[in-house]
Amino acid sequence: MLIYPNYTFKTRKNKNSETTEIWDEVRRQWVLLTPEEFVRQHFIHYLIHEKNYPIETIIVEKEIQVFEMKKRFDVAVIHKTQEFILVAECKAPSVQLNSSVIEQVLTYNLRLNAQCFVITNGLQQFVFEKQNNQWIKLPDIKKYT
């Protein structure tokens, strides 16, 4: 059972591949419904419906360059000033959240410089915010202001 509320999602069967797809409201397209995508969609809806983040501030699966490597973050939130305020790494429920997942999201944050990062597998969620040049663990994501 996920830690996020139950949301109603649009899904469909892909006739060609017989796979299930889910509608991503942010990307405005159908995407393959994998366990990780299931968590990502719940997390996105949590940001929108529980934490009041406007949908237009959310970016999903965007490629960035960190040093000379191409990376792709799962979810990020930008402020109206176009500064990143949050970056999140979503994993399938079967994936343990550990230091390597934290290192992964911190690598993305070298480029994004967000003040908050989140790691989640849908069963657990860890939120960290930069305060006085240190990462402090928070109990939850702050509401959008």
Tens of pLDDT, residue by residue over 99-125, are: 999 999 999 999 999 999 999 999 999
Which pLDDT value is given to residue 15? 82
What are residue 10's phi and psi, to 5 degrees? -85, 125
Amino acid symbol at 98: N
Supply 64's token pair: 């960035």
Lowest-confidence region among 36-45, 79-88, 90-99: 79-88
Which pLDDT value is given to residue 14? 85
Which pLDDT value is given to residue 1? 84
Full-model pTM = 0.95
Rounded average pLDDT over 17-31 = 95
d(CA 73, CA 52): 21
Supply 132's token pair: 């006085």
